[in-house]
Structure 1
Amino acid sequence: DRFGVYADIDAGVDRKYKLEFINNGIDRHFDPRNSIIYGIPWAIDNKDPNSHDLTTIKIAEEILGQSGKLSGQLFGSPEITDESFDPHILTKGKAFFCRFVMIRNILKNSLTLCDSIFPNYVSPIMKKGYLGDLALESKIYSSITGNRVSMDELDKQAEGVLNLQRAITIREWQTKNMRGKLTDIDNLSPTGKTLRGHDNLAGHLFNRPKKFKWLDKTHIIPQLSRKKYEEAKSMFYKEMGWDYNGAPTESTLKKFKLEYVAAELKAKKPSYLSIKNDKVVIVNAGETWGK
């Protein structure tokens, strides 16, 4: 007979310890169904895009009792945090904020800054309207290194890193089509098709609503709309200066002095692995690349 810890192990760890705040992956960790602003970084990034940006502003606004006020003052787009707007639709203001968040994530990782504190969206000082200082990263960098750079200059350097990361992803995936396409290879999808590609999210986010059990057990968040999500990707690509399939255009790379990257991507013919006559073969994708 099993006893003590061995009985627990024998019962199966996942079944025995089905905890509310772990073992749920993306569903608990900034679920894209809560906001498209979470959904874009989850698809675009190559790692967990852990970011407290949206959460920080929303919590501050809840404390102040003024939904959308801080995001409206900081970015001119109250719909970023105002829950009266559809959270699954990406507006121009939300697209700008997604880009801003991903750029500042590069800075946080490069400068080893706290994810919860930076960017400095919020201040406890009433006479400042509780607004923080978005230039704080550049001020810290300038003070420590003696190399004086403005907020815009530092953001541009970080955006160059973001585009370089994107180009490396394209090279490693051997395709400039980061958007993906519908395929028949996943029988788990209700439609018999699923979207395969880098810039994609888990299928259940489009098939199942979210039962929000933490603060309100009765609150249900609808599943994502594939149509809205693809439209959101298109808007974000445009905001980044990328083409329809999510690849940085030649002019965008040159903007960040990445001419050598542009030349390599232009020269390299993307390919992918396929099965033909029970053998693995390399197929030339024959893709074009936007200027």
Structure 2
Amino acid sequence: SGNRGYKSAWIYIPSKIYKSDDFPFQDNEEVIIEIEEGSITISKNDERSRILRNFGIENATLPRLLEIKAKTNRDQPFLYFKDECYSYQDINNNSNKLAHGILELANNLDLKAPKISLLMETCPEFIFTWFGIAKAGCVFIPIDTLLRAKLLEHILKDSDTEVLIIDYKFLRKYLKISKNLPKIKKVLIHNAPDDFNFENYHTNFMSIITSNTQNPKINMHNEDPIEILYSEGVTGKPKGVVFRNVLRAGIALGYELRGIGFDVASKIYCPMSLSSSTAHFFVVLPSIFYDKSLIITEDFNASTFWKEIH
């Protein structure tokens, strides 16, 4: 309606929807309404929403975020582990080296965007592998190292894992169940001893680390599946949740964490396992987006906790 050079429209929202606890808007809240190709999109216009909107939906993938931050932050430290330190550029380069190796492996195995499970202790290679899998356009499945063999088998079956990357110290656990997992085409072993006898089915993890530090040219959409995260299985077998837009969730949670000092912190200490969803959404992803440095440790140890903090 309107006859003074502008057009306005009333949008009727049934009370059943408006009164629902899931309805995201408040009375008199400022919103943005977009009409495109016959559909109407109503979105919030608060600060958090503006942060997400300004970043750009086309950039809202983990690979794209890594590439943007590698350019803007370059030599700024991102990851600390023991006496090691990796800059934002280092993280992107190491992830790219793995991504190209994963792409080559998938091609050799005739797999398209395979599901890749990771059973590895907390270390920089965990981060590189996670990001490398994402940059290769594959689906990442982190697995809790404390799981018993039967629950490990359940996750590998339920997720349709096709490639497994595993620390050597957990290999015996996997071998107990390997005959029940015919879908797994390749097992990459991390930290294998020098005298380990690799065969065709088992390959050295180091073999997929290439020298190519260029960003892979993979056409990814922000709604493509990127991770499957499993519950701890407290009330039954672990249940998997497919995540697509993990980045937007991490950005939003980082914004909410400002109240406890996230906005002024320069270093974030993470003593928890990197296989947990808490580490992903509350620590790693927000740290990247908000330009923080991340400190990781092999595991939580009460006797060394404060020493590591200092």
* Common fold: TM-score over 0.5: no
More helix by share: 1
Query: TM-score of the superposition, structure 1-length normalised?
Result: 0.25
Instruction: Report 1 or 2 for greater relative contact order, CA contacts < 8 Å, sequence distance ≥ 6.
Output: 2
Query: TM-score of the superposition, structure 2-length normalised?
Result: 0.24
